A = this chain, B = another copy of it.
Amino acid sequence: MGDEISTLMNNNKNKVILLRLRNNKTVRGNLQDFDIHMNLTLDDAEDISDNKTTKLGTILLRGDNILAVSLPDEES
């Protein structure tokens, strides 16, 4: 992960992000930490795929499963 992208992720710590995974699942949670492999830890994580919500608690998600991360608007 390059520096610019690392900065963007840093700006979103303690904010709620949305993860779209390669297995088509969608996970939402409060970003705590991340590393250069895009491994990241979330608090209050929830699997919100298929119009159902399953509580996952605190999770460590491996970066290589991620398709994309939706970030909250800078202003909001």
Q: What residues make up the interface of A, taking CB atoms closer than 8 Å to B?
A: 1-5, 8-9, 21-23, 27, 33-39, 41, 56-74
Cβ contact within 8 Å between A60 and B69: yes
How many angstroms between the C-alpha atoms of A58 and B3 in the bound complex? 18
Are A60 and B8 interface neighbours, CB within 8 A? Answer: yes
Pairwise interchain contact B70-A58, C-beta atoms closer than 8 A: yes
Q: Per DSSP, are chain A's interface residues mostly helix, strand or loop, or mixed? A: mixed
Copies in the complex: 7
A69: nearest residue on chain B (CB-CB)? B60
Chain B residues near A21 (CB-CB < 8 A): 67
State which of B23, B34, B57, B71 has its C-beta within 8 Å of the C-beta of A73.
Answer: B57
Cβ 8 A contact of A37, one of B1, B4, B34, B69: B1
